[in-house]
Amino acid sequence: MKDEFEFIESITPRQTDQASLVKGIGDDAAVYRGSDEYDEVICVDTMVEGVHFRRDTLTPFQIGKKALAINVSDLAAMGAQPIYYIVSVAASADWKQEELEDVYKGMFDLAQEYKMDLIGGDTVSTPDTLVLTVTVIGRVERNRAVYRHTAKPGDVVFITGYAGRSAAGLDLLFEKGVNGSFSLEEQKLVKAHQEPQPHVKAGRILCQTGVRVSLNDVSDGVASEANELAEASNVRIHIDARHIPIDEAMSSYSREQQLEYVFFGGEDFVLIGTVKEEDFSKVEEFFKEEGLFITKIGHVLSGEGVYLKEENQLTRLEKKGYNHFQKRG
């Protein structure tokens, strides 16, 4: 297998049978009818030791917390409120019971923030790694879920936080190890990688404003996620490099390295999306009222592809974020 996205496309059903299904494969999560007032939102992710995490960069507690955060972020991108989670663990013999308990403690720590309940799962053995599969279920007001496919020419592109910090933190962890000596700025970047915070409140605001919004979470880098928005909506996106917000903790990096982390790093779990230009100030005001920030970083045009505007030059941003089946050195 060369590309997970091509594989997903190849196994996606061409028809569905359940009348209650609102949105199936192709967005951050699936949506189906729950009640007269709410739709249910569900998604699943798997983390494999040695592929998605290593014990020299994350503690067992952080592994669990991050495993749940990844899924909660997908719910945030749909505008949903998290309510339940289910966990399947496949553990090798070199994982002690106390370490596995810490994995669950990490999940519970994040779940408490949203009053999520653990409602089931499975525990099995595996020969040589830890495999964590987490399913989360959320709820959103009926017909108010937010999708990727609703961007239109004339919209502005926004982001709800800083991208690039997680990738920078991971490089620091590779360099110094989980118990390394980090400066205050480096500690901030390392924590952004080890304990990312899903933007649930931001997603809820964007869902409840009543304006047309398209949305995606930044799990595979801004370039990849912007391309997913553009492809789903059949539009062209221009991102202005001058407007990309960069955390001060990354000020010691060159501009080239900063943008490399932003566009191709991933695992920041901020939200990227689009909204009508005349509605952006309204959305921005809602964010300010909640003590959150949202930044306009580009525009939507007719056409296809994603382009970076820098010093009056346009450069195509390819969809080359994290891909589980690409070979790495």
In angstroms, the Cα distances linking 40 to 24, 79, 168 are 12, 11, 35
**125 carries a ligand binding annotation:** no
**279 carries a ligand binding annotation:** no
The answer to whether the CB of 244 falls within 8 A of the CB of 297 is yes
Task: Please count the other Cβ atoms lying within 10 Å of the Cβ belonging to residue 69.
Answer: 22
**220 carries a ligand binding annotation:** yes
Nearest-angstrom CA–CA distance, 144 and 303: 27
**122 carries a ligand binding annotation:** yes
**27 carries a ligand binding annotation:** no
**45 carries a ligand binding annotation:** yes
Reading across the β-sheet that carries 38-48, which strands appear in turn? 21-23, 30-33, 38-48, 131-141, 81-91, 117-125
**316 carries a ligand binding annotation:** no
Nearest-angstrom CA–CA distance, 129 and 43: 23
The answer to whether the CB of 156 falls within 8 A of the CB of 104 is no
**9 carries a ligand binding annotation:** no
- Residue 48's contacts (CB-CB under 8 Å, 6 or more residues apart) are 129, 130, 131
**155 carries a ligand binding annotation:** no
The answer to whether the CB of 96 falls within 8 A of the CB of 103 is no
Classify burial at 136, counting beta carbons within 10 Å of its beta carbon; exposed 0-12, middle 13-18, buried 19 or more: buried
**17 carries a ligand binding annotation:** no
Residue 80 identity:
A
**171 carries a ligand binding annotation:** no
34 is written with which tokens? 């729950």
Of 132, 46, 130, nearest in space to 96 by CA: 130
**14 carries a ligand binding annotation:** no
**24 carries a ligand binding annotation:** no
The answer to whether the CB of 270 falls within 8 A of the CB of 199 is yes
- Residues belonging to the binding site for ATP are 104, 121-122, 148, 219
- Residues belonging to the binding site for substrate are 52, 267, 322
- Residues belonging to the binding site are 28, 45, 52, 74, 104, 121-122, 148, 217, 219-220, 267, 322
- Residues belonging to the binding site for Mg(2+) are 28, 45, 74, 122, 217, 220
